[in-house]
A and B are shown apart, each in its own frame.
Chain A
Amino acid sequence: MSLLEVADLKKSFTAPDGIRRTIIDIPHFAVEARQQVALKGESGSGKTTFLNLLAGILRPDAGRIRLAGSDVASLSESARDRLRATTVGYIFQTFNLLQGHTCLENVLLGMAFGPGEDRARAVALLERVGLRDHLAHRPRQLSTGQQQRVAVARALANRPRLVLADEPTGNLDHASAREALRLIRETCRENDAALLLVSHDRDVLGEFEDVREFAGLNRAVNDRP
């Protein structure tokens, strides 16, 4: 059985003009355990919505999302929170670090709502991403690349089965982007986590063996006027 399996997934929103539009219409999508998949798609094609559906942040209108044996779509909100806290790691384009918290505290937050805080693991993760000497630094005291590395460490803090990365290199320069991507892929492998990375950057996508066209998966993209 696949780690992640999506079937007949649909999600629509009401646009500002009052018309309800279907954003996601994916008949089938699957990711195997420890697999690393890149999703290629243009901005505004619904990739982030798709990731939010997979993470249980959004609830689909129809369809099935089976993640690590649980049907995400049918779970209560509280159960989806729990699943996200224990099974999913999320890396955002804008990092989404809590500015009032130190690097270490940010990583601890990544495990606080799931398996519980494990300071030794948090320190080890920050050491792994090269921030051993920045445990007590606050995000604004770090470079953009360093902030992304904290975000990587946080995403892996809860020992996730699946890491979702939404344009994780979008805010980085070329060199930093390559370094961040290498780090994300390596650490996911080391932690036995599958990786689903969304990007429209050709260089990033070129690093992946398994690149899927989001437009090919999502029928809603092709149906748009």
Chain B
Amino acid sequence: MILARLVLKSLRQHLLSTAVTAGATALATGLLLAVWMVRDQAQAAFTGMTGGVDAVLGARGSKLQLVLNSLFHVDTSPGNLKWEDYEEIARHPAVALALPVAVGDNYRGFRIVGTLPEKLAELEWTSGQRLTVRPPGRMFEPTLREAVVGSFAAAKLGLKRGDVFQPYHGLNYTPQSYQHEEEYVVVGILAPSNTPADRVIWIPLAGLQKMGGHDPAAADEISAVLLKFKADNPLTARQLDSLYNKQGNRLTFAWPIAQVVAQLFDRLAWLDRVLALVAYLVVAIAAGSILASIYNSMNERRREIAILRALGARRRTVFGAVVLESAAIAGIGAMIGFAVYAAVFGIAGSILRAQTGVVLDPLAWHPVLVLAPLGIVALGALAGVVPAWKAYRTDVADNLTPHS
């Protein structure tokens, strides 16, 4: 009780330094939590967002590029494959679903993906859940110039059912981009799935293949085939892996998806380490600022400490008060840190969503949400030990009279 009051009084008396050091700690906590949570969730989202797709077949090239392009709708396509390749894999007895996709156009930066509507409707993106069109919309017809727009893309583009748009050529949009003459009618908006499908405009496969300005020789080619096997059959997948990747030299079979996406995080590991290092450095600086601010105030506090000691306070009481004050500053900072975390997470999450369609949840439980603030409070208490030692050693008799 008395310790708590002494700490509260001291925090109030040194309000400016308390605010500055708590602010630095808040920044440290927020950054640490955000780096940790965004990395963890992004990794889980990318490696776990394979529901419905066991493998991807595409042109010869990088497996990671193939998966990123066909499943996450980022990066460029490694090339095309022939319609016969699609038919061959679609006929394979172990394949439950083969979804051909073709890319090459966009509408104001949002990718247009050509596919077969009946196959698209069959794909379960997450267990037991298929992509559905918000009523009263409907799926596009395979032979008409119709489009179904992902929820995120529709919101960003302001597209609604009945709107008409003309695709732009290429995967990236610039005002100078060539605009196709074909007009597509939006017949439906997809219900949000929190998957990359939300930021895609889906049109008939034939429509994209035969778009004016596209190479007529490639009119029967596609960009990739998303595959779902009938059962979790690693033997079949291994056979196909061997068939396409080792014996053949024309196509690439990306399997298993999670392992392929994990390569992305392996490549980004350095960035992860740099961000973590920055966060830890900020934490260290925050702890150092707590130490410095309290330590520097010890000169002006010596008389106060001497008075408390003259009133009967023991050395360990004043030591504990200083350590508690330091921990309290760290605790206040850690609490405010959740607001910083929410802000940083919100910005990072919205960028990630805009770029990949992956949705992160700032409220998702993770032990670091408790352990990091506790660790920071412990570090704060540790930072208080040095000034507390100074308080502990304060000479009572020398400091009872004011020094000018």
Contact of B309 among A81, A97, A110 (CB under 8 A): A81
Q: Does A100 contact B (CB under 8 A)?
A: yes
Contact of A96 among B310, B312, B313 (CB under 8 A): B310
Report the interface size for chain A: residues with CB under 8 A from the other chain: 32
Q: Does B1 contact A (CB under 8 A)?
A: yes
Q: Does A158 contact B (CB under 8 A)?
A: yes
Residue in B closest to A154 when the chains form the complex, CB atoms = B311
Residue in A closest to B402 when the chains form the complex, CB atoms = A94
B312 touches A158 (CB 8 A): yes
Residue in B1, B10, B312 whose Cβ sees the most chain A Cβ within 10 Å: B312
Contacts of A84 in B (CB 8 A): 310-312
Given contacts A57-B397, A100-B10, is CB(A105)–CB(B310) below 8 Å? no
Residue in B1, B310, B397 whose Cβ sees the most chain A Cβ within 10 Å: B310
B396 touches A77 (CB 8 A): no
How many angstroms from the CA of A94 to the CA of B304 in the assembled complex?
Answer: 13
Contact of A113 among B12, B304, B317 (CB under 8 A): B317
Query: B318 → chain A, closest Cβ, in Å?
Result: 11
Q: Does A196 contact B (CB under 8 A)?
A: no
How many angstroms from the CA of A94 to the CA of B310 in the assembled complex?
Answer: 14
Return the CB mask of A40-82 against B: 1 if under 8 Å, else 0: 0000000011001001011000000000000000000110011
Q: Does A86 contact B (CB under 8 A)?
A: yes
Contacts of A57 in B (CB 8 A): 309-310, 396-397, 400
How many angstroms from the CA of A113 to the CA of B9 in the assembled complex?
Answer: 17
Residue in B closest to A101 when the chains form the complex, CB atoms = B9
Given contacts A94-B402, A100-B10, is CB(A113)–CB(B314) below 8 Å? yes
Given contacts A81-B312, A81-B314, A158-B312, is CB(A100)–CB(B5) below 8 Å? no
Q: Does B19 contact A (CB under 8 A)?
A: no
A98 touches B307 (CB 8 A): yes
Residue in A closest to B3 when the chains form the complex, CB atoms = A112
B401 touches A100 (CB 8 A): no
Given contacts A55-B310, A109-B308, A113-B317, is CB(A96)–CB(B400) below 8 Å? yes
How many angstroms from the CA of A82 to the CA of B314 in the assembled complex?
Answer: 8
A112 touches B12 (CB 8 A): no
How many angstroms from the CA of A98 to the CA of B400 in the assembled complex?
Answer: 12
Contact of B304 among A49, A82, A98 (CB under 8 A): A98
Residues of A whose CB lies within 8 Å of any CB of B are 48-49, 52, 55, 57-58, 77-78, 81-82, 84-86, 90, 92-94, 96-101, 105, 109-110, 112-114, 117, 154, 158
